[in-house]
Every structure is written in structure tokens, then in C-alpha cells.
Amino acid sequence: MLLSSLCFACAHSLNNGFSPLVLCNLFLFGLFLALYRIADGSLWGVCAWHTVWNWALANIFGADAGGSAQEGGRLFPISLTGPDWLTGGAFGLEGSLAATAVFLAGIIVAALMLYRKHQDCAITTRQVTRY
């Protein structure tokens, strides 16, 4: 999981505005996606998370996604002002500490999903072996 998360983060390294915080955030997002994949058992959910994340940043909030401005309409056209650690700078919201908090929360939720799935499997295994 750590290697695939690092590869995911490095795959974005040539994007505009890439920084150490962006690298960290993309690593965290990759880790979330890996945990979610294991908990869910399907790659489709991972594809959906990545697509919806980028789509929502661009089309709902009108923010840059992955270091590039998005074309098309925006539901809530926002203008981000402030320090890069808060706004994400040239990379977009994914390069902000706010995104760090969101990704950490996602990791916790995915880890809890995985733990619960493991517990459910253990209970089922115990029930089967008892009979």
C-alpha cells in the first residue's frame, strides 16, 4: 500500500504547483484509496472516488484540480485567497492543509471499514467452525 501510494503521489509530480505538501496529500489520498479498495473489494469504488473528487473540485467549487484550471461551468465559483498552506496555491485545494485533514479522516473511515469487515469475517468463521 505504501509503495502504490507513493507511486500515485509521484505520478502527479510534473503538475503545476507541485510541492512537498502536495506530495504528502497525494500520498495520503493514495493510502485512503488503497485501504478503501481492500475494504470494499472492488476497484470501481476507487475509480469513483478519484473521479468524483476531481469533478467536485472543478465543477462544484470551481477550484483548480491537480495543478490545472478546469474548463466548463461551476456551481459555486469560488476564489481562493490566502497562504498556499490554506488554499493549496497553484496546485489547488489538494495542496492545502484542509485537504490533509479530509484525507486523514478518509483513511480513518476506510481503516474502520476494513476493521469491521475483518471482525465480521472472524465472527462468521467462528460460527461456521462451531457447527
Rounded to the nearest angstrom, the gap between the alpha carbon of residue 114 and the centroid of all alpha carbons in its chain is 16
Q: Is the pLDDT assigned to residue 130 strictly greater than 60?
A: no
Bridge partner list, 68: 65
CB 93 within 8 A of CB 29: no
| Domain boundaries, position 111 | 2-130
Kindly report, residue by residue over 28-84, the tens digit of the pLDDT: 999 999 999 999 888 999 999 999 988 888 777 777 666 666 666 667 767 778 888
CB 73 within 8 A of CB 59: yes
Best CA proximity match to 80, nearest among 64, 66, 68: 64
| Model pTM score | 0.80
Q: What are phi and psi of 96, to 5 degrees?
A: -110, 165
Q: What is the pLDDT of residue 54?
A: 83
CA distance 45 to 28: 17
3 state SS for 33-57: HHHHHHHHCCHHHHHHHHHHHHHHH
Report, as an integer, the average pLDDT of 5-14. Answer: 91
Identify which has the larger pLDDT, 6 or 129.
Answer: 6
- Average predicted confidence (pLDDT) for the chain: 84
Say how many domains are in the chain: 1
